[in-house]
Amino acid sequence: MKDIERVKMNYLVVGSGLYGSLFAYEAAKRANKVTIIEKRNHIAGNIYTKEVDGIQVHVYGAHIFHTSNKKVWDYVQQFADFNRYTNSPVANYKGHMYNLPFNMNTFSEMWGVRTPQEAMAKINEQRQEMAGKEPNNLEEQAISLIGRDIYDKLIKGYTEKQWGRKCTELPAFIIKRLPVRLIYDNNYFNDDYQGIPIGGYTRMVEKMLDHPNITVKLNTDFFDKKDEYLENYDKIVYTGMIDKFFDYKLGELEYRSLRFETEEKNVGNYQGNAVINYTDAETPYTRVIEHKHFEFGKGDKDKTIITREYPADWHRGDEPYYPVNNDRNNQLYAKYAELAKKQDKVIFGGRLGQYKYYNMDQVIEAALNAVHSEFGD
Domain residue ranges of the chain, discontinuous segments joined by +:
2-85+194-251+323-375, 116-174
Nearest to 196 by CA among 277, 298, 276, 285: 298
225 Cβ neighbours under 8 A, 6+ residues apart:
none
SS3 at position 77:
coil
What pTM does this model have?
0.95
Q: Which pLDDT band holds residue 179 (cuts at 50, 70, 90)?
A: confident
- Is residue 137 within 8 Å of 151, Cβ to Cβ? no
Determine how β-strand 346-348 pairs with β-strand 235-238. Answer: parallel
- Helix 18-29 and helix 201-209, axial crossing angle in degrees, nearest 10: 30
Residue 368 Cα distances to 17, 23, 51, 191, 234, angstroms: 14, 7, 29, 20, 20
Q: How far apart are CA 368 and CA 362, in angstroms?
A: 10
The b/e string for 128-147 (b: 16+ C-beta within 10 A; e otherwise) is eebeeeebeebbbbbbbbbb
Evaluate if residue 271 carries a pLDDT over 80. Answer: yes
pLDDT of 94 reads: 98
- Ordered DSSP codes for 281-311: SSSSSSEEEEGGGGSTT-S-TT-EEEEEEEE
Q: Which pLDDT band holds residue 176 (cuts at 50, 70, 90)?
A: confident
Q: How far apart are CA 32 and CA 28, in angstroms?
A: 5
Q: How far apart are CA 265 and CA 299, in angstroms?
A: 13
- Residues 325-339: what's their mean pLDDT? 95
pLDDT of 1 reads: 43
Mean confidence (pLDDT) of the chain = 96
- Is residue 52 within 8 Å of 296, Cβ to Cβ? no
Evaluate if residue 38 carries a pLDDT over 90. Answer: yes
- Ordered DSSP codes for 94-161: TTEEEESSSBHHHHHHHH---SHHHHHHHHHHHHGGGTT----SHHHHHHHHH-HHHIIIIIIHHHHH
Residue 142 Cα distances to 117, 220, 308, angstroms: 21, 44, 26
- Residues 251-279: what's their mean pLDDT? 98
Matching CATH number, 2-85+194-251+323-375, of 3.40.640.10, 3.40.50.10490, 3.40.50.720, 3.40.47.10:
3.40.50.720
- Is residue 286 within 8 Å of 158, Cβ to Cβ? yes
- Residues 37-56: what's their mean pLDDT? 98
